[in-house]
């Protein structure tokens, strides 16, 4: 007699995966926003207490961040937040610009009307955060917009490659001081991004996104040079 195999509840695996992703995202934010500065040790005990987790999921999350270049994993010494050099930044941003340009072109082909409407709502929230000078909220919504454009491209390979660089690029942006003039210009560029996406003008959106990243590189370069960072050094 063949008895049916008992089905295993899926909720446990989903919850564990959600916990894993949440820890990774929290650590990314702490690094990007400077709560864990470059060159400092990652305080595993403190973070385990803060997140209410054991060391195993925390260390699994640190391995992911190590593969993204956000932390350096040292044998028997834990993890240290990676330092960024100008050489790193000048290599990363043009690559990210090409990836975002491709994402924009593909999103114009594949995005649903609902997805574009969601991006339009996020854009409105981002502008509101800008008018309130709420930089932290502005950057979070800004990242959501770029993430939605990326997902609307319907290309998992592109998403995977983008993810490998995204954390370090975001880290570099937070290290830079964004002037009021440049901030206003960035908002204007996002207006152009939304207009091109709404018109489904792939070539136009691709060009805007590529220039958008080039402009970000200039801001980061000028800010970090002003703080005394040398090429090839921290």
How confident is the prediction along the chain (234 residues), in pLDDT tens digits per residue? 455 544 444 444 435 568 889 999 899 989 988 899 989 999 999 999 999 999 999 999 999 999 888 999 988 889 999 988 889 999 999 999 999 999 999 999 999 999 999 999 999 999 999 999 998 899 989 999 999 999 999 999 999 999 889 888 988 887 777 788 999 999 999 999 999 999 999 999 999 999 999 999 999 998 878 765 544 433
Answer yes or no: do 106 and 61 share one domain. Answer: no
- With 0-12 / 13-18 / 19 or more C-beta atoms within 10 angstroms meaning exposed / middle / buried, residue 201 is middle
Angle at CA of residue 38, ends 34 and 44, nearest 5°:
85
> Residue 16: what pLDDT?
59
How many CB atoms are closer than 10 A to CB 189? 16
Beta bridge partners of 45: none
Can you tell me whether residue 72 is helix, strand or coil? strand
Distance CA 91, CA 129 (A): 30
* pLDDT, position 179: 86
Contacts of 231 (CB under 8 A, 6+ apart): 85, 86, 87
Give the residue from 81, 114, 143 where a domain finishes: 81
> Could you tell me if 107 and 132 lie in one domain?
yes
- Please count the structural domains in the chain: 2
**Same-domain status, 99 and 67:** no
Last residue of a domain, one of 62, 81, 100: 81
Residue pair 141/122 in contact (Cβ under 8 Å)? The answer is yes
Full residue range of the structural domain in which residue 177 is found:
86-226
What CATH number corresponds to the domain at position 33?
A: 1.10.10.10
Q: Of the candidates 81, 107, 131, which is a domain's last residue?
A: 81
115 and 220 in one domain?
yes
Q: Give residue 160's pLDDT.
A: 93
């Amino acid at each position: 007699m063949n008895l049916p195999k008992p089905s295993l509840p899926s909720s446990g695996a989903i919850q564990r995966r959600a916990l894993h992703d949440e820890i990774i995202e929290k650590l990314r934010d702490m690094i990007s926003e400077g709560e864990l500065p470059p060159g400092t040790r990652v305080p595993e005990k403190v973070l385990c207490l803060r997140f209410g987790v054991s060391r195993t999921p925390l260390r699994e999350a640190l391995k992911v961040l190590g593969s993204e270049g956000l932390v350096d994993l040292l044998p028997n010494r834990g993890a240290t937040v990676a330092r960024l050099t100008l050489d790193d930044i000048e290599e990363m941003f043009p690559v990210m610009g090409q990836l975002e340009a491709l994402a924009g072109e593909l999103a114009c082909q594949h995005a649903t009307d609902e997805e574009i409407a969601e991006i339009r709502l996020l854009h409105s929230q981002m502008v509101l955060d800008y008018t309130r000078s709420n930089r932290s909220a502005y950057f979070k919504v800004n990242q959501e917009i770029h993430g939605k454009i990326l997902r609307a491209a319907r290309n998992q390979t592109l998403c995977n490659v983008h993810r490998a660089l995204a954390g370090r690029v975001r880290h570099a942006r937070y290290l830079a001081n964004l002037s009021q003039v440049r901030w206003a210009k960035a908002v204007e560029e996002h207006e152009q991004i939304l207009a091109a996406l709404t018109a489904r003008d792939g070539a136009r959106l691709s060009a805007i996104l590529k220039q958008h990243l080039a402009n970000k590189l200039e801001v980061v370069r000028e800010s970090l040079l002003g703080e005394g960072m040398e090429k090839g050094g921290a």
